[in-house]
Structure 1
């Protein structure tokens, strides 16, 4: 099993501190800037109206990159949000990387110092929560180690966002409330059996279902325990 990257380990070690979505996004962005060879980061999320909202940007360039993509409706963040795939641009001045976003590429070169852009979807299963955007002033792609770390950090960040939205009172990001709430523990076990997955994956499925339905994790868990909700439908 590959060793966890620096940023991934840092995010896994964070405890909840009662901060809201924006505070959580600041924490994630700060960890990425401190642990990766990038100069700035931002997080945007998808809202219930399919619009995007920037939760955090570490610097003026990160905010401007978000604003340009919102305004022009094109760019790596937009593409990552639509496709659910990472979009890595080692050099915005290389037309082979940016030909599909001509207006955005021209604006970036004219208005910012950013040269390399990396957009990582915050996704769990079919649930697309938003995008983690990273930028660097110098051109060049991520190393293999940086890529693994960035991708792992995006996965953990997605779980953190799911936990924030669906179980804000829990004690931890990946298993918040499970030890102290019998219904969540029981529901996780039931989903584990239904889908034949691990306990962390079963809990993530519960969180994703709660996120889509706009409900708290504890309420979904109670429905699973009462057999009002079954995850067997997901595999039929």
Structure 2
């Protein structure tokens, strides 16, 4: 193991140990990642593919909002990191790469620079570490170090018993309503799963709420996509 990687892993272990032992491991890992990378905030997304990804923890309000917008819009560094399998960065000042995300978040969150790094312990994509900075990266920022850190965090989460079950209370359980609602939209409209999820995301975006909120409306039958006319109005 090279010296830089050893230093990163040592700082990660020390930082996790120094925080409250009763706090979930994911929360401690996110906080330490922000500290090591000198970022204003961090978030951890878990999932072996883009459709199943779930942001399980955000260390600050800005990270939580960025995660929600990317989840709903399907645009941003995290979706791109999943598609491309490499670190992806950009800023909210640019309207060229992620125009919808920039429009939705720039006024609310300011000129943030965002970096999403794939977590791929053992070579398999299983999530992403996202950090954000105000302005440019710190002078000593090292992308290779960020990748070491993301892979180490992924390995730690894979070994955390919290991820071994889908029982109620696990973070995976919070994604279940989205899967169930997607199935109901498929049945309502006779479309494929990707299109059904896209409709859920579009509806969440227009209502300015998270995917889970729209999913719950579908599951409670408050929202039925077969009863929405082509202008977007729900039939009475």
Give the shorter-chain TM-score range: 0.5 to 0.7
For structure 2, list consecutive stretches of 5 or more residues without a partner in the other structure. 165-236
Residue 162 (structure 1) aligns with? 158
Residue 94 (structure 2) aligns with? 94
Residue 57 (structure 2) aligns with? 56
Query: For the structure 1 residues 139 and 145, does the alpha-carbon distance in structure 2 shift closer, same or farther, using more than 3 Å as the test?
Result: closer
Offset of 1:101 from its aligned partner?
A: 1.6
TM-score scaled to structure 1, two decimals? Answer: 0.58
For structure 1, list consecutive stretches of 5 or more residues without a partner in the other structure. 169-236
Instruction: Deviation per CA, 1:182-229: give whole Å up to 9, x if none.
Output: xxxxxxxxxxxxxxxxxxxxxxxxxxxxxxxxxxxxxxxxxxxxxxxx
Is the Cα–Cα contact under 8 Å of residues 94 and 102 in structure 2 kept in the other structure? no
Partners of 1:108 and 1:10 in 2: CA distance: 32
Residues 193-212 of structure 1 mapped to structure 2, 5 A cutoff = none
Is the Cα–Cα contact under 8 Å of residues 84 and 123 in structure 1 kept in the other structure? no
Residue 153 (structure 1) aligns with? 149
TM-score scaled to structure 2, two decimals? Answer: 0.58
RMSD: 3.1
Matched, 1:134 2:131: yes
Residue 31 (structure 2) aligns with? 30
Instruction: Deviation per CA, 1:106-131: give whole Å up to 9, x if none.
Output: 21212213511010111124522111
Is the Cα–Cα contact under 8 Å of residues 7 and 36 in structure 1 kept in the other structure? no
